[in-house]
């Protein structure tokens, strides 16, 4: 095991977007290291609940709703870790202004809603926030202007909240996933030409796995990162540098 098995014993973590993909891997990794984990997702299914396992609490959450977000945190007596993974992408549709606004509201404003709601609890525990940025925090995407704008915003939001929350001793960082094998990228994985192009540019020569992101999140939430804040960590197999 990479990390001490009881690293987060006695800690409470909330993972938004935690019922599938990268978020689910993070929720499972935190729970496996002893944390009480609440995985929140939009309309969780029985299959998602079963896949997460009985040790993880599952909650329904719409990050586009102020009331929903407030209700998620209201019952918690303590909170040590917040991981924001809730997000959406609408390839080819985001030039429509209504779709653009929806993606921004979920990805960027939804992250801010969760951070704001969690702040008092995290201040009490001197806890940590990890947001989910992207490669598209660093360069553009012609088919996904809203997604790219939201992820650029996540990078700046992370830095800004790190400064604002530092007086509460809350650390705020972000991971920037590369090409990760999840349902969100399944169409690209299935497209032989696109997948080949991605792998040829990725120095480590493979698609990332959700647990590659989860392991980095664990580090950022752990005492090993006690002096790390306002940082965006690419987890991309070297793609950005290629």
- Residues with a catalytic annotation lie at 147
Beta-bridge partner residues of 10: none
Separation CA 213–CA 184 (nearest Å): 15
Residue of 27, 22, 125 whose CA lies nearest to 79: 125
CA distance 130 to 16: 11
Other beta carbons within 10 Å of 203: 11
Taking Cα atoms as reference points, which of 105, 96, 161 lies closest to residue 131? 161
- Rounded Cα distance between 122 and 76, Å, is 11
- Round to whole Å and give the CA distance between 242 and 237: 10
Residue 62: exposure state from Cβ atoms within 10 A (0-12, 13-18, ≥19): middle
CA of 138: how far to CAs of 65, 132, 134, 161, 192, in Å?
28, 13, 8, 19, 25
């Amino acid at each position: 095991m990479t990390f001490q098995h009881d690293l987060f014993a006695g800690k409470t973590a909330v993972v938004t977007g935690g019922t599938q993909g990268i978020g689910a891997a993070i929720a499972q990794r935190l729970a496996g290291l002893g944390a009480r984990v609440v995985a929140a997702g939009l309309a969780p299914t029985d299959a998602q609940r079963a896949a997460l396992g009985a040790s993880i609490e599952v909650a329904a959450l719409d990050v586009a709703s102020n009331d929903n977000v407030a209700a998620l945190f209201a019952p918690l007596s303590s909170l040590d870790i917040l991981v924001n993974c809730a997000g959406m992408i609408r390839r080819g549709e985001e030039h429509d202004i209504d779709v653009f606004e929806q993606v921004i509201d979920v990805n960027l404003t939804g992250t801010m809603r969760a951070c704001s709601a969690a702040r008092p609890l995290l201040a009490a525990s001197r806890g940590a926030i990890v947001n989910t940025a992207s490669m598209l925090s660093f360069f553009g995407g012609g088919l996904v202007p809203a997604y790219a704008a939201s992820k650029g915003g996540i990078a700046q939001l992370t830095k800004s909240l790190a400064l604002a929350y530092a007086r509460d001793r809350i650390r705020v960082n972000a991971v920037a996933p590369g090409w990760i094998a999840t349902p969100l990228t399944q169409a690209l994985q299935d497209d032989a030409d696109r997948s080949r192009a991605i792998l040829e540019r990725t120095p480590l020569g493979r698609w990332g796995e959700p647990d590659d992101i989860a392991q980095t999140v664990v580090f950022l939430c752990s005492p090993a990162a006690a002096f790390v804040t306002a940082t965006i960590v690419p987890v991309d197999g070297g793609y950005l540098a290629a």
